[in-house]
Structure 1
């Protein structure tokens, strides 16, 4: 991903927020047979305060990626959407796409069986906690034999990135009036309405205003 200084994201707390709210990630490896990509849910390692992540792959995806042997890129996509040139008013302009993306790269550490079970347990708990009647991993009708059998079909890993590229392209190069118009369109009821993207634009531009104050 090409980086522009005006669109760069560097604040670790903000990067963690994007990862936490957008856990469905794309995992990419360059292998002797070419590029391969997989898609898995990823969590921040709650024992760390950096950008270390934990996840798992279903076998044999680990062999396809050469997991633990070569660099893995993990891509998180935040809110994104189409921006019409008509929203900028009667000025020369072209369509664009606003987005947030975070790319973490590094060589993963393979987890032990016990560590992998802990990560799988946390993954289930993380998503089930939003439900009124959560089904946790170790609860009936699951039993230990079932859980352990399922674990054997996966391989867990931890990745502490050695390279981070993050980009937040949210009309930072437009005037304040134009930004407000775009946010209003995204917050409206048109075909390209996108409340999540509008909220991210508001957050980014409020932060820029505070930094200038």
Structure 2
């Protein structure tokens, strides 16, 4: 993606937190020159060597794209909001603030029913939680045979937090105030992000 240096997020812990919190991803492949996308939850594993784990319906043709051993892109989307130039003290133009992470890698397929059972159990535990009312899967082999599991070995991560970092302190504070009074959860989440990273910038400058 287009990634100006002032919008690039490099903190590995922050990127892992973002992916985990926004696990419903857009998985993009290219087959015979045509882009193809699926929208699925993915689990992040690993520390130094990151991996993404998930599964597709066997009826979904995308899993066959992985067999070509070409790179796959997983896009994780965070909060986003319109930014009006009327919120600035200085002149500006309309824009959009957002956070997104692009993860690239090659995929290894999982067909074995035991491995698939372990995969869906782990995903269910993650998203259901450990409470007494948590649903516990018990898939017969017939159902497991209807899906294809996969692991993406990550070879590149790009994280973009476009949070008005190219504006003055006064302009960013105006963005925060305006978004905090917005009517949507997205606006308030973006306000919190701008505020959080504004504070971190201030700490770095003070230190």
TM-score by length of 1: 0.86
Q: CA deviation at 1:68?
A: 3.9
Task: Find out whether 1:211 has 2:200 as its counterpart.
Answer: no
How many residue pairs match? The answer is 203
Structure 1 or 2: more strand by fraction: 2
Contact 2:103 2:158 in 1 (8 A): yes
Instruction: Tell me which residue corresponds to 2:86.
Output: 86
1:49 aligned onto 2:47: yes
Question: What secondary structure sits across from 1:55 in the alignment?
Answer: strand
* 1:133-155 Cα distance to aligned partner (Å, 9 max, x none): 221213xxxxx52xx32221111
TM-score normalised by the chain length of structure 2: 0.88
- Equivalent position of 1:127 in the other structure: 127
> Distance in 2 between the 1:193 and 1:21 partners?
14
- RMSD over aligned CA atoms reads 2.1
Counterparts in 2 of 1:27-38, with a 5 A limit?
A: 27-38=27-38
Tell me what 1:179 maps to: 172
Secondary structure (helix, strand or coil) at the match of 2:154 reads coil
Q: Distance in 2 between matches of 1:61 and 1:92?
A: 49
- Residue 80 of structure 2 aligns to a residue whose secondary structure is strand
Q: Which runs of 5+ in 2 are unaligned?
A: none
Unaligned runs of 5+ in 1: 139-143
State the Cα distance separating 1:114 from its structure 2 match.
2.6
Q: Name the structure 2 match of 1:21.
A: 21
CA–CA distance in structure 1, aligned partners of residues 65 and 185 of structure 2:
40
**How far 1:185 moved relative to its partner?**
1.5
Between 97-106 and 49-58, report the one with greater CA deviation. 49-58
Match of 2:163 in 1: 170
Q: How many Å apart are 1:32 and its aligned residue?
A: 0.7
